Structure 1
Amino acid sequence: MNFVLAALIALGALLDLVLGVSFFVDPALAGADFGLTATGAMGLSAMRGDFTAFFLVAAFFMAWGAWKRRGDVLLPALLLFATAFTGRLVNLFAVETYEGWWMPMLVEAAHVFVLTFAMLRWRGRTS
C-alpha cells in the first residue's frame, strides 16, 4: 500500500512539475489551458511567477514526501490544493459554472484526498 500511495503522489508531482515548467517557459500558452489571458508584461510576469511557484512548490514537497514516505512533508502541497479547491468551490456557487468546470476540481480533490490519506498513513515517520 505504501508503494502504491507513493507512486500516486509521485505521478501527481510529475503532473505538477510539468505544469510548473510550462508556466515558467511559456506562461501565455500554459495560461490559455487555464482560461487565462495575460495583458502585457505584468500579466505574463504574474503568471510566470505565481503559477510556477504554486506548481513547482507542490511538486517538490510531494516528491520529497513520497520518496521519504513522510506525511509531514506533504502539508504545504495539501494546503495549496485545498485552498485552490475551496476557491473553485466558492466560485461555483458565487458566479456560475463553465464548460469543463469539474475537471480542475476533480484533479484538486484527488490531490487533497491522496495527500490527506498519505499524511494519516505516514504520520510520525521521520526517515
Structure 2
Amino acid sequence: MTLIVRLIIGLVGLFNVAVGLMFLLNPARMGPEFALSPLGSQGLATMRADFSAFFLVGGLFALLGAIRTDPSPLKVPLLLLAIALFGRTLSLILDGTAPTAYPPMLVEAVMIALLLLGQWVFARARQSKAR
C-alpha cells in the first residue's frame, strides 16, 4: 500500500512540477489554459514568477514527501491547494459561475484527497518503523 501511495503522490508532484516548468518556460502558451491573459512583459513576468512558484513548490514538496515516505512535506502542497480551492469557491459565491469553473476545482479536490491519503499512509508507515 505504501509503495502505491508513494507512486501516486509522486505523480501528483510530477504533474505540478511539469505545469510549473511550462509556466516558467512559456507563460504565454499556458495563460489561456488557465483563463489568463498577460498585460505586456510585466504580465508575462508575473505569470512566469507566481504560477511557476506555486506549482513548482507544491510539486517539489509532494515529491520530497513521496521519496522520503514523509508526511510532513505534504503539508506544503496541501495548504497551497486548499487555499486555491477556497479562492475558487469564494469566486463562485462572489462572482458567479461558469461551465469552466468546476474542472479545476475537481482536480484540486482530488489532489487534496490524494495528499491527505499520503499523509495518513506515510504517518502509519513511520509509526510501524518506530516500533
**TM superposition score normalised by structure 2:** 0.90
Match of 2:64 in 1: 64
Match of 2:80 in 1: 80
CA RMSD of aligned residues (A): 1.6
Match of 1:109 in 2: 109
Match of 2:14 in 1: 14
Q: Which runs of 5+ in 1 are unaligned?
A: none
The Cα offsets for residues 49-105 of structure 1, whole Å up to 9 and x where unpaired, read as: 000000000110001101111001111111000100110011111111112211100
Secondary structure, counterpart of 2:123 in structure 1: coil
The residue type equivalent to 1:61 in the other structure is F
Whole-angstrom distance in 2 between the partners of 1:65 and 1:13: 9
Whole-angstrom distance in 2 between the partners of 1:26 and 1:99: 26
Whole-angstrom distance in 2 between the partners of 1:119 and 1:110: 14
Match of 1:55 in 2: 55
Bigger radius of gyration among the two: 2
Match of 1:33 in 2: 33
Whole-angstrom distance in 1 between the partners of 2:12 and 2:102: 18
Match of 1:95 in 2: 95
Higher helix share: 2
Check whether the contact 2:5–2:121 (CA below 8 A) recurs between aligned residues: no
The residue type equivalent to 1:31 in the other structure is G
Check whether the contact 2:31–2:37 (CA below 8 A) recurs between aligned residues: yes
1:121 CA displacement:
2.4
